[in-house]
Structure formats: structure tokens, C-alpha cells
Structure 1
Amino acid sequence: MPQADPTDDLKKSLSERILVLDGAMGTTIRTYGLQEKDARGERFADTDKDLLNNGDILSITRPDVIGDIHKRFYEAGSHICETNTFSATSIAQSEFFVEDPREHGGRKDPEFFQKILENPFLKDLAWELNYESSRLCRKWADNIGSDTGIRRYVAGAIGPLTVSLTNGPDANDPAFRVVTFDQVLEDYKHQVRALIDGGCDILMVETIFDSLNAKAAVVAIREVYDEMKRRLPVIVSAAVGRGGETMISAQKVEALWNAFAHIDPLAIGLNCSLGPDLMKPFLEELSACAATHVSCYPNAGLPNPLAPTGFDLEPPHMHDYMAEFAQAGLLNLAGGCCGNTPEHVAAIAQAVAKYAPRQVPVIG
């Protein structure tokens, strides 16, 4: 069942310490050596497309694995773990279950995605993925919290989708978009309702490549809150490139804060895309302008297919970088994105434990 509004407890904790987020679900899943048959289970055995890269489906077909990952991250020191729902929308799941019209000379357009949103199988699947993932993470948050006497939280992960509202794919028709704002909004609302019903404490709009997609997610959250007559804290986190801009909408971090300040997020932050060394100047910029808490969960360096996790940095490296960030007063929440295993998160938790949290500036 959904928990009571945790905002006050979270704000109190954030005033006392740097809270620890979890690490990379996809990276950690790969350490279990799962095969295609594991992802499919009996239920999806006859599906035409491969499902092994559909990590979200494992909340249904291998909840033992996803539950164990949550357990390991909480035991490593995570105060907040994200649900396994990064791609748990009808739009994103359609990539695994619907034939791509471009393979036969067609195109993806609003008419195509309207059929996706009206597809009963995809709609029911998206609900189940979010609801069950939220319940699964809730179970381990409560179990580890009870065992340790330290409250643990569940963040409902809302990913960036596989479509863009900002950019069109056709240079000859620059006004064309494959999907409409209202369609993205509808899909996100469906996800948000299920995450809340499953028992999450926080909603996290994360890995923002396209700020307009994220705007749709935020509108969805507000509309669902109004429907349900309740509120949960919101965290927004962007993925930025080497110039400090969101990848698709090219919005700089100060502009990102200005775009989302009106929702009074519990935190705003940066994740993914860059290693901690490359992310630091943009984190400094965000920390200087954001009148709320700041989160940071970078990749474990840049991708390297020869490294065991696919990324260069090992736990001691993440320890040192995050300790540097904490000592500089840049952090309220710290964790890891791609390449960060429970061992990385344990090192991050140890690194930030002795430092005071960043002081939220009073701006106005």
C-alpha cells in the first residue's frame, strides 16, 4: 500500500546527512548471467522479438533477481532505491512487442503511437510493470529498514522515453514530430498512477535528454496528484553532454533549474552520460543556482567494453570522486548510474558519510 507523505522526513534527513541513492540496475542485472529464456519466462515464451535487453520485464519474469538487486543496494548503504521501471511505458515497451513500421517503408508518427496507447496488451503490461516493480522495491525497503532501524525509501523511476518532443526526424519537414505532447502526457500519467499505487515514496524524472519530455512527465505527475488528492516529493535529474547541455534539447543546467523550479522539487541533479570528473563543473554550476537539494549519480567513467562492468571506474575511484564532491559541499544525494554495482555504492556511501550535506541557498 502507498505510504504516508515522506516529504518532511526526507527533508529532515537531508538537512542532517548526504543521502545515498542506488547504482545501475542494468549493469547489475548483467552480473547474473541471465539468458533470453530468463527474460521471457513462460509468459512471454512465444514473443517474436528478443526480450533480454528489456530489463524492466524481469520484474515480472525474474522478480527474484530484481528483488535481490534492491536488497544488495539497500545493504550497501542506499537510503533510496529506484524501481525497475526506466522503460515501463507503453511507448517504450512497444519497441519489444510491436513491429516497427519503418522496416516496411512506413514511419512512426502520432497515428502509430495512438494505436500504441490504445493497445490493451501494452497498457496492461505498463501498469503491471510499474505496480509490481514498486511493490517489489517497497518490500525490500521495508525489510532492510526494519532490520537496520534506518528508514529506506522507494523512488519511482520515470525514464526519458524512446521518442523526442523537441526534435523531429525529418529534415524536409521540420515541424513533424513522431508523437504529440498529449500522447506522451497520457503515457506518463498511466505510469505515475501505477507507481504510486504500488507504494513508492518519491517520483524521479531521470536521465533527462529532452526537457520537453520531462515537462510532460512533470505535468503528468501534477495531474495525477490532483486526481488522487495526494502528493509525493519529486526529484528531477538530467543527463548532460560534455558542454553541460541536455543531449536533445540542449538546455544548460541553469536553464534546467529555471525550467523546473516552479514545481518545488525535493532535489534536482545530474546523472548518467558522463563520469564524475567530466560532470564536476556542471554539478558546481547547478549547486550554485539551485534553491533546493542537489543530487548526483554519474556513470562509473566513460564506456569501455573491455572493462568488467563496461565502464572504467572501480569502487575506489568512485569513492574518491564522490568524497571530493562531498567535501566541496556540492551534494545532498549521491549515487551511481551506468557501471555502478552494489560494491560501487558501498564505496560511495562510505565516502560521503563523514561530510556535511550541501547547504541549500536562499535565493530571492
Structure 2
Amino acid sequence: MSQPDFTAEIEKSLEERILVLDGAMGTTIRTYGLDEAAARGERFAKNEKDLLNNGDILSITNPEVIADIHKQFYNAGSDICETNTFSATGIAQSEFFVEDPREKGGRKDPEFFQKILEDDFLNELAWEMNVKGSQLCRKMADDVGTDTGVKRYVAGAIGPLTVSLSNSPDAEDASFRVVTFDQVLEAYRMQVRGLIEGGCDILMIETIFDSLNAKAAAVAVQEVFDEDKVKLPVIISAAVGLGGETMISAQKVEALWNAFMHVKPLAIGLNCSLGPDLMKPFLEELSDVAGTYVSAYPNAGLPNPLAPTGFDLEPVHMKDYMRDFAQGGLLNFAGGCCGNTPEHVRAIAEGVKGVAPRKVRR
């Protein structure tokens, strides 16, 4: 089931106010105290590899937890929540379900990943994760939207994968890649179709560390749109390092915009990787060059294993930083990545409320 194109409706809202994204799925999952048995459920009880760090599996084994997290974020003020599908491809899920050939002296290569792409179990699992992940978020968006009278949207999360198309892991062969562009494209095509089938309103290619991986995702989106006669708004969001570069492909933010402007995204932005203080100069640069809306959902500071969420910044800090971003004319979408709980998002929503959104220079 495909969704109507809400681009015009969302753009109307963006001209009036800053829209609020959600926070960190992984951080919030940890507050439920789930153990390995809970992550596996009965269905995957005999799996040979641990699944506790496979957050996407919870859409199948603990859907009530994922639904409750979406509900918490919507009630905290999120206009848009992302689906629990960051790693919902056969390529990414193979890390949890397939023996790593490197453990026996082999290596991962295109031949290995071709078998992954032809694996019925992984294909069915990836499809189910995306459809159910989208459906869970859709229901909470509709329920909270009905209760509050404020429409909520669902963004299908398309993560960066666990492989790189830009870099070789082989110090002796700079041309070697573990996977091909066409293989990554195929994995993303399935994910895109599953997200749309589940009822998402937006597709979000996010946490980009390798621009070529993201290019494959963007091609997959366009091919599915063309083949299935459907059109949804697309958001592009990159994770950048301390120098403002995508961490594997080393593109600075202006190059990132130039690489993806042809997609005509609803928004382009930055997320993850850095706290808001370190992200600000790169967000300013992106805001200057982007001919579309801009999003930002930074980590709650840098990692700190002694902090309750694993990150330094508390809700009040994120509120102050994101208000500063908004008052500086940098934002159209505001949210939080790693370390940001529903309380952080509630504070962010308060911080940007009533502040005029960034004006787009097309």
C-alpha cells in the first residue's frame, strides 16, 4: 500500500514553523532493560549469534516496546518519527545471522554478499522488518494525531549499511570492495519498497558516512518511485567528523549538497556523530549553500559511558543549543540523535517553539 505524496502539506507547515523530529531509538530501547532472551523472542531463540544489539529485530520480537517508544516521542512533541529500520537490509542483518568468513581465514567480498542477497531467510526478514517497522510507527502517528488534533508523520529510516563502497579494507589492493554498487542498490530497493508498503510518509536516507552508499540509496528510491508510480518526500542527512567531512568518503558539506541536489530532497541535514556545539559551524555552512530545507539532529554531546544515557548533554542543554540554532536561522527540522530520550525531544520542541523557521533560498 503506497502513501499519497504529502510534500505540499509538509512544506506548508515548514513555512510556518520548525518541525520536530524524534530522538534516539537505541538510547530509549535501553531504558526498557531488555535482555538477550527478550530480544530473541521464541522465534529466534536458537539463533547462534547474539541479537541484543540488533534493535531492528524488536519490531518483530517486541513490537509493543517499539510502538511505545514511538508514542513517547510523538507525545513529547515530535511531528515526525523515524521507523525502527536503521539496519533493516539483508546486508546489515547478515551480521547477526550469517557466519563471518573472516573467522575461518576467509573474507567478505562480492561473492559472499551475492549469496546474502539471494538468501530467502534474510530477504523475508528484511521485508518483514521494514513493513512492520513502518506499520508500528504509522499506527502511533495516527493515534497521537487523532488524540491531539495535530497531524504526525512517519519517516522511513534508511541507514548507511555495514559496508563501504568508497573505501577498500585491503591495504594491499586499493581497488578491492567487499560489495558492489548494484548489490547495495538491490538491498536498498527492497528496503524502500517495504517501508512504503508499511505506510511511511517520508523516506530518510540518514547518518551518511559514505556518500556512495547514500548514492545507491538515492538511486534505489528513484527507481522504486518510477517503477511503482509513487512519490514521497525524501530527506538526506549526513554524519560528519570533526573536520565537517562525511567520515568515510570525506565530502565536506557543500560537496554533499552538490552531490545530492539533483534528488531534489525535501531537506538535507546533519545528524549523529557530533554534539550540537561541534556541529554548529558545519550546519551554518550547509544552511548557506542548501537550496532546500535544512534538518539537524545531533547527538546529546560526545559519548560518556558514565552518563545515564551514555552522552553528556541533558534535556535543558539540548533545548538551549537547538534554540540557538533556530534563532540563528539554521533550522527547518530539529531533533536529536544518540543520547536523546523523549525528555530531550520535549525540551528541544520547547526550545524551537515560536522561533521562525529558516528561509529557503532556492
Query: TM-score higher than 0.5 here?
Result: yes
Ranges in structure 2 where 5+ consecutive residues have no aligned partner: none
Tell me how far apart the structure 1 counterparts of residues 288 and 229 of structure 2 sit (CA, whole Å).
34
Equivalent AA in structure 1 for residue 183 of structure 2: Q
Instruction: Look up the match of 1:58.
Output: 58
Shift of 1:2: 3.5
**Residue 275 (1) aligns with residue 278 (2):** no
Deviations 1:191-226 (A, max 9, x none): 000000000000000000000000000000000001
| Percent identity of paired positions between Structure 1 and Structure 2 | 78
* 1:301 to 2:271 alignment: no
Alignment gaps of 5+ in structure 1: none
SS at match of 1:274: coil
1:73 aligned partner: 73
Alignment of 1:1-364 (within 5 A): 1-362=1-362
Alpha-carbon separation, structure 2, partners of 1:264 and 1:118: 32
Q: Structure 2 counterpart of 1:276, which letter?
A: P
Which residue identity is paired with 1:212? L
CA distance in 2, matches of 1:355, 1:278: 22
1:39 CA displacement: 0.5
Please say if residues 2 and 230 of structure 2, whose CA atoms lie closer than 8 Å, have aligned partners that are also in contact.
Answer: no
What is the CA distance between 1:264 and its match in structure 2?
0.5
SS in 2 for 1:243: coil
| AA of the residue aligned to 1:335 | G
In structure 2, what is the Cα distance between the partners aligned to 1:126 and 1:3? Answer: 20
SS in 2 for 1:81: strand
Aligned amino acid, residue 215 of structure 1: K
Tell me how far apart the structure 2 counterparts of residues 249 and 302 of structure 1 sit (CA, whole Å). Answer: 22
**Counterparts of 1:100 and 1:72, CA distance in 2:** 37
CA-CA distance at 1:3 after TM superposition: 2.8
Give the distance between the partners of 1:62 and 1:13, measured in 2 at CA: 34
- Partners of 1:213 and 1:3 lie apart in 2 by 25
Q: Deviations over 1:51-82 (max 9, x none)?
A: 00000000000001000000000000000000
Secondary structure of 1:131's aligned partner: helix
Report the CA distance between 1:345 and its aligned residue: 0.1
Deviation at 1:244, TM superposition (A): 0.2
| Equivalent position SS for 1:221 | helix
- 2:145 maps to amino acid: G
